[in-house]
Chains A and B, each alone.
Chain A
Amino acid sequence: MNVVVAMKQIPDLQQIRIKNRQPVFDDVPLTFGTIDKNALEAGVMLKENNLAEKVIVLAAGSEDLEDTVKEALAAGGDEAFLIVGDDLNGAESSIIAQVLAAGVKKIDDVGLLLLGEGSGDNYSGQVGSRIAEILGWPQVGYAGAIKLEGNKAIVTRVLEDAEEVVEVALPAVITVVSGINEPRIPSVTQILKAGKKPKEVIEEDELDGINKEALITTVSNLAPESDRKRIVVKNVAELVDKLRSENMI
């Protein structure tokens, strides 16, 4: 059984500057979202525990993906399956879900599809559920731990006030939370070998039946304004009072 990890190529958020509340993407390198890396690490750990044969990285985006995916292959992915198209970077969730689901169908013996709970940029949290619907597979969200036993997965879901343990038949889609693990830092040797790992690249046009009609339109994308209250306090007691009155403590 192979584990497929779907990852989204995004600009490195730490290097984005904000100008007039708009993000500036000039010369910002591309990477994968941090929770996507948690999903990858979860897949790699299953493989290291001999519960999966291969970890295959699945991604859809611009042609830069061929370079970006080296990061995931250095961090433990065995192979990559990339769907490249000019308009895939920033495409909305319903389109990406169709594209990724079509990609999953082209990969042999997929027992598990892992994703981050939300992408590193928009965090819509829709893609995992949409893929599950298209494939007709069960889906479990907010996974904080995954165990594989035979033809089922036992997943601990991390909820706001509780943990829920569920069983799900494979193949399944599981979306993970950031607390599931600490992604490994790849070694220099792993980084240098990443570019030599097997990689299949197909054009988006090669996939049939993708409905490219966007269901959601992003109207604007603005950085939040942080209004400072500029309250001056004379002593600690006054500071504590102010914080209490704002329900901060």
Chain B
Amino acid sequence: MDFSLSKEEQLIQKAAAEYAEKFIEPIAKQIDEENRVPDEIIKGLGELDLFGIPFAEEYGGAGAGYACYVLAMEQIAAASSGVGMILSAHTLGLGAIDKFGTEEQKKKYMFKPCRGEEVASFAFTEPATGSDPKQIATTARREGDYYIINGTKRFISNAGYPGPIVVFAKEEETGKVSAFIVEKWCEGYSISEPWEKLGMHGGPLLDVYLKDVKVPAENLLGGPGMGYAILQYAISFGKVGVSACALGGAEAALREAFKYAKEKMHRGEPITKFQGIRLALAEIAERVEACRWMAYRLGYLADHAKDPAQFAKDAALTKDFICAQIVDISRLAVNVHGSYGLMKDYKVERLWRDAIMGLQIEGVSDMQKEIVAGVLLGRK
């Protein structure tokens, strides 16, 4: 067992940290206030290959795997979880095409997104479905060499950016759920205003309206009726990104808490002299350490996944654990700041709002526990 990083892994981590420090951190508050990530940040991340880290070079990716994706994402999300959310949802959508796409589909739809020239999306959730795939109401009707798709998708990340979106719809003929690669902004594609959410500002969540969207039959992903399998697989890999994003927030909370505690003076000495502060800092450090190694391990497992059910269990328990921890970690960091932690002048205020998002996105906490229990107990 070796917990050290290779030189390449260290350098990827360092490159992401340097970019985050130089270009994202200085405008992170602006991103939070405007709920928008400037285009030059997307371009910069693309130039560093951060939009295609896990994917093969032949499709425009960097071929560095999910382990390196976690290392980079941790650093980016520590500066802005909104930027992290864009990358995470993008990698989820592209991951589905990478795993289930034909050679032609991958060559057509992965190159530009891997370079950050387009941003991918993944559209399953609907106003009435929640986490129940059987309730899906979006339909796909076969007409010759095309499918005609109609429906509404809810809380879809990156829906306003051009690029591919993986859309799940029930085939009218068979009643089975299939997945389709749709090009955003094609005829019949429209979006809502971004939802005004509590945290992770800059990572846009929108509703997508599909009105008689005509999709070539060759854009069917993975074969007819494969929707549920694709959903399960892709969502599991999506949790790698969400876990890494939460880890970044945890790391940022730790940095802010230690920085503040060392600088804040009480009667001529830093408040680290108080045992209450010391205990809080130690608890933050303990929890962050646990989160870090769970997230790193999940990245490793994603690169070596053999049994989809086992990986789904590992992804669910990691995502649920880290996202629960970060709520406590950021609250402890706010506590170290006292009243100042509630003020927008301090980063921990944003970190706390961002942290609360994690448990609800990409599958609520209870669903993760159900997945874990289902695999461990054996499904009926």
**A189 interfacial by beta-carbon distance below 8 Å:** yes
Smallest CB-CB separation from B63: which chain A residue? A192
Smallest CB-CB separation from A190: which chain B residue? B49
Smallest CB-CB separation from B57: which chain A residue? A189
Task: Indicate if the CB atoms of A188 and B7 lie closer than 8 Å.
Answer: no
Give the most central of B15, B19, B49, B50: most A CB within 10 Å: B15
Smallest CB-CB separation from B64: which chain A residue? A188
**B132 interfacial by beta-carbon distance below 8 Å:** no
Q: Separation in Å of the B60 CB from the closest CB of chain A? A: 10
Task: Indicate if the CB atoms of A188 and B18 lie closer than 8 Å.
Answer: no
Bits for A151-191, please: 1 = Cβ < 8 Å to B, else 0.
Answer: 00000000000000000000000000000000001111101
Within 8 A of B (CB), among A190-244: 191-192, 194-195, 230
Main secondary structure of the interface of B (DSSP, over half): helix
Contacts of B57 in A (CB 8 A): 189
A185 to B8, alpha carbons, bound, how many Å? 14
Task: Indicate if the CB atoms of A186 and B11 lie closer than 8 Å.
Answer: yes
Residue from A71, A186, A188, A189 in contact with B72 in the complex, judged by beta carbons closer than 8 Å: A188
Interface size band for B: 20 to 34
Within 8 A of A (CB), among B42-58: 47-50, 53, 57
**B10 interfacial by beta-carbon distance below 8 Å:** yes
Contacts of A194 in B (CB 8 A): 8, 11
A93 to B62, alpha carbons, bound, how many Å? 40
Residue from B10, B15, B63, B68 in contact with A185 in the complex, judged by beta carbons closer than 8 Å: B15
Residue from A71, A74, A185, A195 in contact with B19 in the complex, judged by beta carbons closer than 8 Å: A185
Task: Indicate if the CB atoms of A67 and B12 lie closer than 8 Å.
Answer: no
Smallest CB-CB separation from A31: which chain B residue? B14
Smallest CB-CB separation from B49: which chain A residue? A188
**B268 interfacial by beta-carbon distance below 8 Å:** yes
Task: Indicate if the CB atoms of A67 and B7 lie closer than 8 Å.
Answer: yes
Contacts of A90 in B (CB 8 A): none
**A130 interfacial by beta-carbon distance below 8 Å:** no
Task: Indicate if the CB atoms of A71 and B11 lie closer than 8 Å.
Answer: yes
Within 8 A of A (CB), among B16-44: 18-19, 22
Q: Separation in Å of the B115 CB from the closest CB of chain A? A: 10
Task: Indicate if the CB atoms of A192 and B10 lie closer than 8 Å.
Answer: no
Given A29-B10, A67-B7, A70-B8, do A191 and B15 touch, yes or no (CB 8 Å)?
yes
A185 to B11, alpha carbons, bound, how many Å? 10
A189 to B22, alpha carbons, bound, how many Å? 20
B contacts, CB < 8 Å to A:
7-8, 10-12, 15, 18-19, 22, 47-50, 53, 57, 62-64, 68, 72, 268
A-B residue pairs, 8 tightest by C-beta? A188-B62, A188-B49, A187-B49, A67-B7, A191-B11, A187-B48, A189-B62, A185-B15
A contacts, CB < 8 Å to B:
29, 67-68, 70-71, 74, 185-189, 191-192, 194-195, 230
A-B contacts, 15 of them at CB < 8 A, read A29-B10, A70-B7, A70-B8, A71-B11, A74-B11, A185-B48, A186-B11, A188-B62, A188-B64, A189-B57, A191-B8, A191-B11, A191-B12, A191-B15, A194-B11
